[in-house]
Amino acid sequence: MADLSTTYMGIKLRNPVIAASSGLTNSLEDIMELEQYGAAAVVLKSLFEEEIRIELEKDLSRMTRESFLYPETIDYYDTYDVEDTLTTYLKLIRDCKQKVTIPVFASINCVTAEKWPYYAATLQDSGADGLELNVFILPSDTSQTAEEHEKLYFEIIEKVKEQVTIPIALKISYYSSNLASLIERLSKTGIAGLVLFNRFYSPDIDIDRFEVLATNVFSNPEEMSIPLRWIAIMADRVGCDLAASTGIHDGKAVIKQLLAGATATQVASVLYRKGKEYIKTMLNEIEGWMNNKDFKYISDFRGRMSLSGSENPAAYYRVQFMKHFAGKQ
């Protein structure tokens, strides 16, 4: 019998399929179902940095427009009670700790390292097993150098590390001018995990109404090549665990990410599309494949197809592209 257990962020997981942060990890009922269908852990829906800062300053009127990196968010917060959001979030963590046995990671969507990191300790005190920092910054400021942009990641990690002892993971996007270098340096800051990658909604334009739309909420299976490439390239160079996220829609995709060197995967879109119970099917697929290949443990094959483990490392680089377009294969 194959043993699907793995270790991610220093925590033993019963298998490598984590329910990623999404609307499906925002209530106790959903989280209990995710556990029942086999999820190894859950990452709660992200709290937004702005929500924490409003609570810390206690009074929205004292929050100036300058408190918001994106001024339009202040109008959004006028419309609902932030205090409730935080109270509900802390209660959700506490309830989860009573009702489910799988690890529960809190998640914060952040864009600065100012003020809000104090709050990380509150999430830890409520029982979160770990903290995922969803650093949601699109490098679109032309007045900023790459170094200035990247500095923020390191500041956020440093400030949050001062507040908590639970393991921290950083969830990043692949928009970086030197991704390999950034991943390597981030992985050596003392964080326990890196999630490659977050996925932004993509813009589209309605050409009849002249409106910009946010589209492609859910990923496609083909997108799993993006984390696959970077996990394979980075697996042997990082100082923390790597979790693959984006485009993982079946058990085979999980196996591929593990072969590339991930220690766990995070899934969201497939659970929206096929239902939470689909985790069971994914786990059966992984188990069947392991039995078929005579692998008893994930460590028997994990990383076997990373850049250094693979017999064809060029496939992760430009050489393959050259061969293809020169008609040499």
Question: DSSP assignment, residue 297?
Answer: B
Under rule CB under 6 A, residue 248 binds ligand FMN: yes
From 20, 111, 234, 258, residue interacting with ligand FMN (rule: CB under 6 A): 20
Enumerate residues 63-122 that contact ligand FMN by CB under 6 A: 107, 109
Q: Are 40 and 18 in contact (CB under 8 A)?
A: yes
The C-alpha torsion from 109 through 110 and 115 to 118, rounded to 10°, is 50
Q: Which stretch binds ligand FMN (CB under 6 A): 71-79, 157-165, 215-223, 230-238?
A: 215-223
Minimum separation from the CB atom of position 26 to ligand FMN (A): 8
Residue 196 CA to residue 183 CA, distance in Å, equals 9
Which structure tokens are listed for 18?
């984590």
Cβ closest to ligand FMN, residue 240 vs residue 268: 268
Under rule CB under 6 A, residue 263 binds ligand FMN: no
Cβ closest to ligand FMN, residue 152 vs residue 314: 152
Question: DSSP assignment, residue 142?
Answer: T
From 217, 236, 273, 308, residue interacting with ligand FMN (rule: CB under 6 A): 217
From 268, 282, 286, 307, residue interacting with ligand FMN (rule: CB under 6 A): 268
Instruction: Give the count of residues interacting with ligand FMN (CB under 6 A).
Output: 24
Q: Which stretch binds ligand FMN (CB under 6 A): 19-27, 56-64, 77-85, 139-147?
A: 19-27
Under rule CB under 6 A, residue 257 binds ligand FMN: no
Q: Which stretch binds ligand FMN (CB under 6 A): 32-40, 184-192, 245-253, 319-327?
A: 245-253
Query: Quick one: which of 43, 45, 38 has its CA closest to 16?
Result: 38
Phi-psi group of 303: left, alpha or beta (phi > 0 → left; psi -120 to 50 → alpha; rest → beta) = left
Question: What is the per-residue DSSP string for 215-271?
Answer: E--S--GGGGHHHHHHHHHHTTT-SSEEEEESS--SHHHHHHHHHHT-SEEEE-HHH
Residues 161, 63, 109, 95: is their CA dihedral positive or negative? positive
Give the binding site for ligand FMN (CB under 6 A).
20-23, 45-46, 107, 109, 134, 171, 198-199, 217-219, 245-248, 266-270
